[in-house]
């Protein structure tokens, strides 16, 4: 299920980037149901970063651009693939690493 949630993130980001999806539609698919799949993407990312860098790193994200959280996860997934439960697609990783 975790991999499916990450795949959904990939799909939604691709649709938003290509202009074939509106933010409202992406939100509905990712966050508006009882068990929102994109919430669990963030939860898995936070667990992996916490294990690797400690809780202080999680707290620091509140003072940084949100892209820092995603960039750290991608870097962690590349350096220590066994430390994560799921990966983003190569296309999503490129978009994350080229952001902000």
pLDDT tens profile 55-81: 999 999 999 999 999 999 999 999 999
d(CA 25, CA 35): 16
Percent of the chain with pLDDT over 70: 99
CA–CA distance, 60 with 68 (Å, rounded to integer): 10
Cα separation of 26 and 23, whole Å? 5
Name the DSSP letter for residue 33.
S
Inter-residue contact 73 to 53 (CB < 8 Å): no
Question: Which among 90, 99, 81 is positioned nearest to 10, based on CA atoms?
Answer: 90
């Amino acid at each position: 299920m975790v991999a499916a949630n990450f795949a959904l993130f990939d799909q939604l980001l691709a649709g938003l980037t290509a202009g074939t999806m509106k933010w409202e539609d992406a939100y509905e698919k990712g966050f508006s149901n009882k068990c929102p799949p994109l919430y669990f993407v963030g939860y898995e990312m936070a667990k992996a970063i916490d294990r690797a860098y400690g809780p202080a790193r999680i707290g620091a994200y509140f003072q940084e651009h949100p892209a820092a959280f995603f960039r750290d996860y991608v870097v962690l997934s590349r350096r220590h693939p066994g430390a994560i439960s799921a990966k983003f697609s190569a296309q999503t990783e490129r978009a994350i690493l080229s952001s902000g």
